[in-house]
Every structure is written in structure tokens, then in C-alpha cells.
Structure 1
């Protein structure tokens, strides 16, 4: 199984909706974590150069499967994610190293 870094860029003006949906979003990711698919996740706070978003590191057989794994995330279902990026990640040191 490969490891992928999935990034979200949140939709502009979605902060209050994300606050409302966050418990379901976290429950969903926690269930995927319990299954071993999500390794770690958390917010990427906005900076002067980048909007706010999230990083979710997952195990999946392909980049397509990594994206599909998160298709049912409540944040995505509710249209709160403006963009999703997926990149293979090859950890060599630390807890996720193969």
C-alpha cells in the first residue's frame, strides 16, 4: 500500500459552515483512521501566501483511490473544499517509514 499526502484548500467564506460540519468530518476521518486508511490529519492554517486548508496522509493503492477514499468526507459533500491535491509521499524516517 502506498502513502499519499492529500491537501484540501477550503472554499472561501466557508468557515462558519465548516464549524457546523466539523464534528461529522472528524468522525468520518476517525473511522478511516481506525481502519488504517488515514494515518494523520489536521488543518493547514492560512498564511499571507496560502488560504486555509488541511493535510490528510492516507494509505491507498493509488492516487485515484486516495482521492476516492475521501469523496464521502462531509466537508467535501457539503462543498466546503475548493480544491483537492494528491501526491505520493515516501516517508523514510519516523513512524510512517516503511
Structure 2
């Protein structure tokens, strides 16, 4: 299996994000520990988004999996970038 870095960019509508965040987090928690390795929000308030590390066989598999994210389905993610990632230093569980 490969490791993919997924970057989410969110809408700036804080109320909509807050309303649907519980379902979004529940969805992500259900993916732990595989295929989701870790996920977390960026802390810059002016450009909301998140980084996820996902194990999968292909970027298409990652996209298909994350199509079920409630944030994606409600168009609260304005951009989703999936990139094959090679952790050259350190380890990822």
C-alpha cells in the first residue's frame, strides 16, 4: 500500500463548517487506523483546511473513499489535493 497526503481547503463559512463538523469527524474516525493514518486542521484562520495521511493502492482509491466525507458532499471542501507521499525520514505507523 502507498501513503497519500491529502490537502483539504475549506469554504470560509465558519457556521456551515461548525454545523457539519461532527459528521465530518465521525466519518474520519471510522477510517482509523487504516486507511486513515492521521488527520488534522491547519490553524490559520484566514485559510481553513486540513491535512490527511491515507493508505491506499491508488489516488483514485483515496478520492473514492473521501467522496463520502460529509464536508465534500456538502461542498464545504473547495479543493482536495491527493499526492503520493514518501516519508523519507522518520516513520509513520
| Superposed pair shares fold, TM > 0.5 | yes
Aligned match of 2:75: 79
- The structure-2 alpha-carbon separation of the partners of 1:15 and 1:3, relative to structure 1 and needing over 3 Å to count, comes to same
In structure 1, list runs of 5 or more residues that go unmatched: none
1:6 equivalent to 2:2? Answer no
SS at match of 1:84: strand
SS at match of 1:33: coil
**Which stretches of structure 1, 4 residues or more, deviate above 4 A after TM superposition?**
none
* RMSD of aligned alpha carbons: 1.7
1:45 is matched with which residue: 43, 46, 68? 43
Deviation at 1:45, TM superposition (A): 2.3
- TM-score normalised by length of structure 2: 0.90
SS at match of 2:25: helix
In structure 2, list runs of 5 or more residues that go unmatched: none
Aligned match of 1:18: 17
Aligned match of 1:91: 87
- TM-score normalised by length of structure 1: 0.85
Distance in 2, matches of 1:56 and 1:85, equals 10
Name the count of aligned residue pairs.
93
Distance in 2, matches of 1:94 and 1:16, equals 38
Distance in 2, matches of 1:47 and 1:76, equals 20
Distance in 2, matches of 1:38 and 1:68, equals 13
